[in-house]
Amino acid sequence: MASGESSAESAVTPGAVRVALLGCGTVGTEVVRLITEQADDLTARVGAPVELAGVAVRRPHRHPWLTETHGHLVTTDAAALATRDDVDAVVEVIGGIEPVRGWLLAALAAGKSVVTANKALLAEDGPTLAEAADASGADLYYEAAVAGAIPLLRPLRESLAGDRITRVAGIVNGTSNFILSAMSSGGTSYADALEEATRLGYAEADPSADVDGYDAASKAAILASLAFHTRITASDVHREGMRGVSAADVAAARRLGCTIKLLAICERVVDEAPDGSVAESVSARVYPAMVPDSHPLAGVDGAFNAVFVEAEAAGQLMFYGQGAGGAPTASAVLGDLVAVARNRTGGGRSPRESAYADLPVRPIGEVPTRYHVDLEVADREGVLATIAGAFAKQGVSIAAVRQTGGVFGAADGDPGQARLTVVTHSAPEAALSATVSALLELDIVPGVAGVLRVEGLGRAVAALGMGE
Amino acid sequence: MASGESSAESAVTPGAVRVALLGCGTVGTEVVRLITEQADDLTARVGAPVELAGVAVRRPHRHPWLTETHGHLVTTDAAALATRDDVDAVVEVIGGIEPVRGWLLAALAAGKSVVTANKALLAEDGPTLAEAADASGADLYYEAAVAGAIPLLRPLRESLAGDRITRVAGIVNGTSNFILSAMSSGGTSYADALEEATRLGYAEADPSADVDGYDAASKAAILASLAFHTRITASDVHREGMRGVSAADVAAARRLGCTIKLLAICERVVDEAPDGSVAESVSARVYPAMVPDSHPLAGVDGAFNAVFVEAEAAGQLMFYGQGAGGAPTASAVLGDLVAVARNRTGGGRSPRESAYADLPVRPIGEVPTRYHVDLEVADREGVLATIAGAFAKQGVSIAAVRQTGGVFGAADGDPGQARLTVVTHSAPEAALSATVSALLELDIVPGVAGVLRVEGLGRAVAALGMGE
């Protein structure tokens, strides 16, 4: 700890672990509150006091509570605070890549431990942060970056460190889940559900990060990196958002006994060659998919998150809780901060990041899933045979076909159209895409109304007795 | 690491973390398998090899696989192995209090880190083990002691270390859950369901530890100690087993839209005195209770475990997975072993146990829950008023009354009996016991057919939109 601080800084308790907080929005405010209100508990748990050394915000006048209660700690100079001599740990809850990356790298280089909730930065450049932490022997923790309050990264990094994880799959974006839940329960359109989410504060003015899957893709990259000891960035994650999910899709899912969820799926894929050699790869992807109502993920509504983890020895695990919000996220931040403080006082370090497995990323075209395809077709003899032929030509096997909806278009003098729903067996994405293209070339197929994946969630489902 | 080992011991890899395994039953066999098969992964994750230094078993001839594959490591002298110079960590999967306690204390005193799955020992004498670990600077980890593969203790000790946990409640004994699931789905009696569980290997020849709640009580003691930073032993846990649950109870639960589960419940109870002062205490209890079918715990069937955790900032969390079995338990052991090995190679220690809060244990008589009371009553006018009066006299408020079953006993010339089901509002156990005693004094109440608690699981339920 440095001596000779200016009087504008807070008094330093001897032996205290001193924390610089960067950002003081919803999460930061709760972090300040918890550090202050639970000071005695934290001291007892750590073996030393944990105290705020400073709070950096861009516009102090926008934080009346903070300036009133902790005015002497407030600064607008985050860069200086992050490397100040009297700071042991930096908690970052601002988000975004720049200028935060530079601040955190400088803090780590100066030996400050870092606790961050910044999923975008971690998914883009986590390894650089990890290297900086290794170089100076500082800690890097980021439990709050994925699934808010749910202890998920520590279990993956530590509890399952002696096991082989095969899959991590779940609902990791509360905003899109809230919208899908509203569409599912209320039969409302995407636009109306988004409007409600925005009104209630679940969605931001620009909802793109949530509804286009960028947020979930960042989280998938972090989860896949930890689970498979391989460097996966957000750009490695196949990403489809949920803007395209229509009320008709929701209704179609319901007819199948399914619910549509925006899923993040990270899998270890093992291919055995004819010569018996084995090649492993990682698939990380985010998209809306139909989930059987009997699967626990189907019942995860509103802003909640839930993640299934499968490992060879542990079998199937599920983690459930609040994925966002000030207090839940702050809980995760504080847990990490206690770990940092324990390490500072007792020696020790956060587990090092490891990318030793260095598995290749499997292209989405080679990832097999089941599909639900909604087709508009001419209501004519022989249509089914033609369509079945188009699927067969691409090697996509059909599990079920159903004519849904009545005849339509007949009033226009047209011979009449019907709607055909096809559910496939597992097929690679590339084969399905080729099938859809081929179908659209047929004059008996005026349009493809919807294509959605159906995720049985494999072994997870089998374990729950649902089969696939 | 010691030099000059005898040739009977295994070759020591320089820098390796050397593990003594005590016990090699179902779990131990899987530990040996994982350490052997995942050697490369473990080395990469730890930064040093993790290797077996020895395996202690009482009767080597009963372990043909072990003696065949690792014969040079087998010993019958657990005490000597646990303190041998070339051993860094001791993994104990024998169970029971003695002689294991002495071996582990000696190992800790000699600076060996300990990983144990021994819930009985931890619940009886955990603090003594923790003190021994503190004294020598060794690690003590025991994730496998509660809920098998489910990462639960690490989240409580570490992820939620900056939060205030208010409740931990769940299904932590797979055997009793299997029996209750079988009774519930098959309508079978307790005796038949137990027989099936024994036949399938889920229940031991002497099922007492499981069905009488001893196992769950040990786990509740461990959970409450960690969650509330208070020393709770198994004897502090109020324990009622599930031998007394009848097929009629299961049927009665179903009529109420409930399922009977053997629950372990640990709560922080806050009492506010009229003068505004606040007194905190801990309630830890195990008993069969009715759980609403809409609650996720009701759907946890067979040998699975699930635990709800509520904390002030994090809100409600759920953890689900396999609570027992060789491979799942070994997964938890290996996770702890990796932590020990990382600490050995990188410095650092397991979080110290803390009992600083030192909260008193709340007597079960003062713990309020709702009750379901099944009464045989004389089928006479005024009976309901008399019975309602008996409840009211003890301050137990009635939520619902229903006459169930038909008139019976009439064929014996009796004026006829009916069955009355009473569901109460929340009432202290002492008041309910006094009510039942008073009811049995009434000549219009020939018998009390069943008394079962109804657990709405408080805020957990509210969060799931079920109310209480």
The predicted-structure confidence for B5-44, as pLDDT tens digits, reads as follows: 444 445 678 889 999 999 999 999 999 999 999 999 999 9
Give me the pLDDT at residue B370, please.
93
Q: What is the mean pLDDT of residues B62-76?
A: 95
- Band (pLDDT 50/70/90 cuts) for residue B391 is very high
The distance of Cα A168 from the centroid of its chain, to the nearest Å, equals 11
% pLDDT > 70, chain A: 93
Tokens of A183: 């569409």
Give me the pLDDT at residue B296, please.
82
Whether A17-148+329-346 and A365-463 share one fold: the answer is no
The amino acid at A32: V
**Host H or E run for residue B78:** helix B78-82
Q: Do A161 and B338 touch (CB under 8 A)?
A: yes
Nearest CA in chain A to B150: A317
**Which residue intervals of A200-325 are DSSP H helices?**
208-211, 214-228, 247-255
Torsion sign, CA atoms A70, A71, A72, A78: positive
Provide CB contacts within 8 A for A342, sequence distance 6+: A45, A46, A47, A348, B351
Which of A296, A331, A338 lies nearest to residue B313, judging by beta carbons?
Answer: A331
Fold classification of B154-322 is Dihydrodipicolinate Reductase; domain 2 (3.30.360)
Fold classification of A153-322 is Dihydrodipicolinate Reductase; domain 2 (3.30.360)
* Residues of chain A under the 50 pLDDT cut: 1-9, 408-411, 459-468
Q: Do B315 and A337 touch (CB under 8 A)?
A: no
Write phi, then psi, for B393 (nearest 5 degrees).
-60, -30
Give me the pLDDT at residue A255, please.
85
Q: Do A34 and B162 touch (CB under 8 A)?
A: yes
**Which residue intervals of A117-173 are DSSP H helices?**
119-136, 153-154
Q: Counting Cβ atoms within 10 Å, is residue B269 exposed (0-12), middle (13-18) or buried (19+)?
A: middle
Cα–Cα distance, A319 to A169 (Å, whole number):
11
A92, β-bridge pairs: A22, A116
Show the 3-state SS of B89-156. EEEECCCCCCCHHHHHHHHHHCCCEEEECCHHHHHHHHHHHHHHHHHHCCCEECHHHCCCCCCCHHHH
Beta strands at A304-311 and A368-378: parallel, antiparallel or unpaired: unpaired
B219 is catalytic: yes
Which of A134, A142, A158 would you mutate first to test chain B, the one with the most B CBs within 10 A? Answer: A158
B37 touches chain A (CB under 8 A): no
Fold classification of B364-463 is Alpha-Beta Plaits (3.30.70)
Q: How confident is the model over B414-467, as pLDDT tens digits?
A: 557 788 989 999 999 999 999 999 999 999 999 998 899 999 765 333 333 323
A365-463: CATH, from 3.30.70.260, 3.30.428.10, 2.60.40.10, 3.40.50.2000: 3.30.70.260
Nearest CA in chain B to A342: B351
Q: How confident is the model over B287-318, as pLDDT tens digits?
A: 999 998 888 888 898 889 999 999 999 999 99
A10 touches chain B (CB under 8 A): no
Q: Do B315 and A354 touch (CB under 8 A)?
A: no
Interface of A with B in 140-199 (CB under 8 A): 143, 149-151, 154-155, 158-164
Give me the pLDDT at residue A142, please.
97
B341 touches chain A (CB under 8 A): no
Lowest mean pLDDT among A150-159, A161-170, B79-88, B375-384: B375-384
Write phi, then psi, for B21 (nearest 5 degrees).
-105, 125
Q: Where are the domains of chain B?
A: 17-148+329-346, 154-322, 364-463
B17-148+329-346: CATH, from 3.20.20.140, 3.40.50.720, 3.90.105.10, 3.10.180.10: 3.40.50.720
Give me the pLDDT at residue A406, please.
54
Cα–Cα distance, A412 to A47 (Å, whole number):
80
B48 touches chain A (CB under 8 A): no
A159 contact residues in B (CB cutoff 8 A): 143, 151, 154, 332, 335
pLDDT at B1 over 70: no
Beta strands at B113-116 and B89-92: parallel, antiparallel or unpaired: parallel
pLDDT at B413 over 60: no
The distance of Cα A10 from the centroid of its chain, to the nearest Å, equals 37
Q: Do A314 and B331 touch (CB under 8 A)?
A: yes
Q: Do B151 and A155 touch (CB under 8 A)?
A: yes
In order, the DSSP letters of A323-341 are -SSHHHHHHHHHHHHHHHH
Q: Do B154 and A158 touch (CB under 8 A)?
A: yes
Cα–Cα distance, B56 to A195 (Å, whole number):
65
B343 contact residues in A (CB cutoff 8 A): 348
Nearest CA in chain B to A327: B313
Give me the pLDDT at residue A412, please.
52
Give me the pLDDT at residue A464, please.
30
Cα–Cα distance, A429 to A437 (Å, whole number):
12
Give me the pLDDT at residue A10, please.
54
